[in-house]
Amino acid sequence: MNAGDTAWVLISTVLVFVMTPGLAFFYGGLVRRKNVLSILMQCFIIMCVISLQWVLYGYSLAFGPDTGWGLIGGLSWVGLSGVGGSPNGDYASTIPHLAFMMFQAMFAIITPALIIGAFAERVRFSAFLVMTVLWATLVYDPLAHWVWGSGGWMRNLGALDFAGGIVVHVSSGISALVMAILLGKRIGYEKEPFRPHNLPFTVLGGALLWFGWFGFNAGSALGANELAANAFVTTNTATAAAGLTWALIEWRLSGAPTVLGAVTGAVAGLVAVTPACGFVTPVNAIFIGVSVSVICYAAIAVVKGRLGYDDSLDAFGVHGVGGAWGTIATGLFAEKAVNAAGADGLFFGGLHQFLVQLMLVGVTVLYAGVVTFILFKVVDALLGMKVDRKSEILGLDLSQQCESAYTVVD
Amino acid sequence: MKLIVAIIQPHKLGEVKEALEAVDVNLMTVSNVLGQGRQKGHTEIYRGTREAGGLLRKVRLDIAVNEDFMERTIEAIVRGAHTGEIGDGKIFVLDLKECVRIGTGEHGSRAIG
């Protein structure tokens, strides 16, 4: 047991925690004023619900002893039975097992919250709540087990996913796309302008995401060591490169660098460097940051319009596309010189690792996509995923939460 | 009695108010409004998507006056709000049927000033 490592992981846990409120304001600023509370509420209630799900059985499914084929953890850690103060050597040998569990809880919380961006402004709260618990149980927990769990099949295959490119971003991003398509467009989409109602919220939220992401990525070293420092530097560097790149692309193509563009680019950079941060050098992190902004910009400004799906806040365009690219880029730029426990990517002679990363993205897209599709259909049949027309026009704040964010008269 | 409604550039409010006070017009209601004239609003860009037709911010003044105050009020507003560029705004004058001062119950011309 190491006090420094434990302190760093506990602090990182708090940093990752604040990402979900940060995300709430990032998304909350982007919706129209009649829907801002629904976004804040969805993020907040996920913090409550998944915290309980994780302690009761989610952690056991994701990280519990493997049931045999590397597909899911067993139920022996249900209710944190046997998860205590002494370290678990399979995951982190220098910190209390409970600290590792809590750090992972924050990842389990933010991942379903990312999906909110896809169905914003038209989802029924009750259906969202049921969908979230089912998704966490049947998509997130298994995927976390595959990639990070002891005995997980992707982990055994040598998957490189330092902090959650596959588990967090590809999984939530592709599920977001499936839900956006199945749920259909918002009333008036592409006919009337949908303006973000409070971009300062979005910038504040985006900055909080960047702040918290140091815990997300550098904390994933699970110790206060050189690896954490490397992840810290690559995270900041890729993010800076991506934010600047997006602003420059907009300046060139639209005539003005928007603050929404700079923040969106920074978040895309954070997403892309997530799987790579513990395996690549700071200079290669710049390549990852620049390239992810080019790719995500194309996905959002060009491809989305052509395909015509309404991913309200670009959960797929940023997290799905950025996460997939980051996972693939890890297979290009990873080098053992940075992290001996990692592998060499394609640019360092590691064709095998590159193919492994490609395959992992493909399998995750397939698994998360299909299961989300089935879950959506089930919940839709039982509760109805979309609010009725009148409630959508009135706004979700009033129709789902019975509150208004802003008063017009005192 | 007349009701003068003026739509002006927000940054000219201070000058208009000064010009009105100089001719002894001190009572007014001011509100933030959105609108567009010949310039047709403006374009905003959100994640690469252009949203045309954004309305411009304007300030609206509502001023009720007696007939003998009408001309000087209009002149003062023009003096304060004029730049000569597109978007300076408009002034509308309406007949006003009645006016009641709530505090005293006075009616008509006496209630206006």
Q: What is the mean pLDDT of each run of 10 residues along chain A (410 residues)?
A: 97 98 98 97 98 98 96 97 96 97 98 97 97 98 97 95 96 97 93 90 98 98 97 98 97 94 98 97 98 97 90 95 97 96 94 96 98 98 96 95 89
Q: State whether residue B39 is helix, strand or coil.
A: coil
B36-83 per-position pLDDT tens digit: 887 777 778 888 887 766 788 899 999 999 999 999 999 999 999 999
Q: What is the CATH number of the domain that holds B24?
A: 3.30.70.120
Q: Can you name the residues that pair with A170 across neighbouring β-strands?
A: none
Are A314 and B47 within 8 A, CB to CB? yes
* Pair of tokens at residue A344: 């060499």
Nearest CA in chain B to A257: B45
Are B44 and A264 within 8 A, CB to CB? no
H-assigned helices in B1-113: 13-22, 67-81, 109-112
Are A264 and B50 within 8 A, CB to CB? no
Q: How high is the pLDDT of residue B92?
A: 98
CA distance A113 to chain B (A): 21
Is A258 near chain B, with CB under 8 Å? Answer: yes
Q: How high is the pLDDT of residue B53?
A: 67
DSSP A222-245: -SSSHHHHHHHHHHHHHHHHHHHH
CA distance A183 to chain B (A): 22
For chains A and B, count residue pairs whose Cβ atoms are closer than 8 Å: 36
The one-letter code for the residue type at B93 is V
Is A8 near chain B, with CB under 8 Å? Answer: no
What global pTM score does this model have? 0.91
Q: How high is the pLDDT of residue A249?
A: 97
Our count of domains for chain B comes to 1
> In the predicted model, what is the mean pLDDT of residues B92-99?
96
Distances, alpha carbon A245 to alpha carbons A211, A257, A315, in Å: 20, 10, 19
Q: How high is the pLDDT of residue B43?
A: 78
Structural domains of chain A ordered from first start? 3-401 (1.10.3430.10)
Domain around B59:
2-112
Are A254 and B46 within 8 A, CB to CB? no
Number of H helices, E strands in chain B: 3, 6
CA distance B36 to chain A (A): 16
ipTM for the whole complex: 0.73
Are B46 and A264 within 8 A, CB to CB? no
A interface test, pick of B46, B49, B51 with most A CB neighbours within 10 Å? B46
Q: Which of B47, B51, B53 sits opposite A301 (nearest CB)?
A: B47
Nearest CA in chain B to A192: B51
DSSP 8-state class, residue B55: P
DSSP 8-state class, residue A85: S
- Could you give the CA distance from residue A73 to residue A59 in angstroms, rounded to a whole number? 9
Which residues 130-189 of A are in CB contact (within 8 Å) with B? none
CA distance B11 to chain A (A): 22
Radius of gyration from C-alpha coordinates of chain A:
20
Whether residue A101 contacts residue A80, with contact meaning beta carbons closer than 8 Å, is answered with: yes
The one-letter code for the residue type at A78 is V
pLDDT at B87 over 90: no
Are A250 and B48 within 8 A, CB to CB? yes
Q: Which of B44, B49, B53 sits opposite A301 (nearest CB)?
A: B49
